[in-house]
Structure 1
């Protein structure tokens, strides 16, 4: 699996410093106050079942008890594991910032229908969710086909590999330097965030 990941990244990623500095779609996606006591970075793939498990079972409590109370600022970073996750991440980036969290949460909640179901048109299933988030068909098709945006998303992934040694999803980075992988439970998340 790791080789396939590296091949995906190598195939699509030239240097994108120029695009990242200018494209608002590449701005950080966060939840919580900038002055929160702790910042937690989550590297995730939209087709990762462990990521979906975290977002369905643990994230709602983290959001309510830690993010909304000002204790934690969550920063989401794309780490797509396959071309479908990459395309869905590009669509997420093309949505308005205010729609981002709801869209990725909806993708995780319905992951079994759009990512793993047999005989479905993955693109059409992802579009249905994007449409619920307010995205028009033309905007969706443009984001799905935007190779420059996909390259930039992959650059985020490569930066995670370099800076935080991410090699699995989800990976949470606490305090800028402590990495924990897997769909961790709320108690562990809260304890790591409080350190």
Structure 2
């Protein structure tokens, strides 16, 4: 199914955002692996990356901006992952959008419309707003308010959310993740091609990383 910008705005205008039910908790399961060469091919919009290209471990995260488990990972695990592994050159981290619903598409589009060097700041603010409940209630007015906090005018906000090429690219990447890598929910991580689902703790993630060093 192909989304249109009109469908996106119509759906978001009357939609109430429910927090915390999208995505998967961390589950004990046998790890699957995917073709690392295919996984490393950038998304249609280009990948958002932190860390050294020479890092021995690469983590690809697929996340939805409306996923409560993703927001939890961002708050609890990611700061430690960044300080212990990304900033020390041990991990290269790639973030890819996997929108689970129309609000997530809209939030992903806003993040992509921000200046490239502000992308991760924008994602962090969105997850903070999600955790605080600021995006609850009717979604579009809440998102409009958020957009102004991160530097959008009403004109640039509307221009971003009516960018059909951007919407198509996000949908194409989600389809690729589902069909080629078996992503079904968020957050899903690939650690050197090994698939792990759920909001992993720093202890769980650190153990996997250390085994691959």
Query: Any conservation in 2 of the 1:40–1:72 contact (CA below 8 Å)?
Result: yes
Q: What's the offset of the Cα at 1:148?
A: 2.0
State the alpha-carbon separation in 2 of the partners of residues 165 and 73 from structure 1: 22
2:200 is the counterpart of 1:184: yes
Equivalent residue in structure 2 for 1:152, among 164, 169, 179: 169
| Structure of higher RCO (CA pairs closer than 8 Å, 6+ residues apart) | 2
CA distance in 1, matches of 2:49, 2:148: 22
Unmatched 5+ residue regions in structure 1? 1-9, 14-24
TM-score scaled by length of structure 1? 0.81
The change in CA–CA distance for 1:189 and 1:139 in structure 2 (over 3 A counts) is same
Give the structure 1 partner of residue 8 of structure 2: none
3-state SS of the aligned residue for 2:208? helix
CA-CA distance at 1:162 after TM superposition? 2.1
Q: Which has the higher helix share?
A: 1
The runs of 5 or more residues in structure 2 that have no matched partner are 5-43
Query: Is contact 2:191–2:209 with CA below 8 Å preserved after alignment?
Result: yes
| Aligned residues between the structures | 172
- Partner residue of 1:27? 46
1:11 matched to 2:2? The reply is yes
1:142 aligns with 2:133: no
Which structure's CA Rg is the greater one? 2
How far is 1:43 from its partner?
0.3
Distance in 1 (CA, whole Å) between partners of 2:91 and 2:158 is 35
| Match runs of 1:13-162 below 5 Å | 26-112=45-131, 113-115=133-135, 117-118=136-137, 120=138, 122-162=139-179
TM-score (norm 2): 0.74
Q: CA deviation at 1:34?
A: 1.7
Checking the alignment, whether the CA contact within 8 Å between 2:186 and 2:197 is kept in structure 1 is: yes
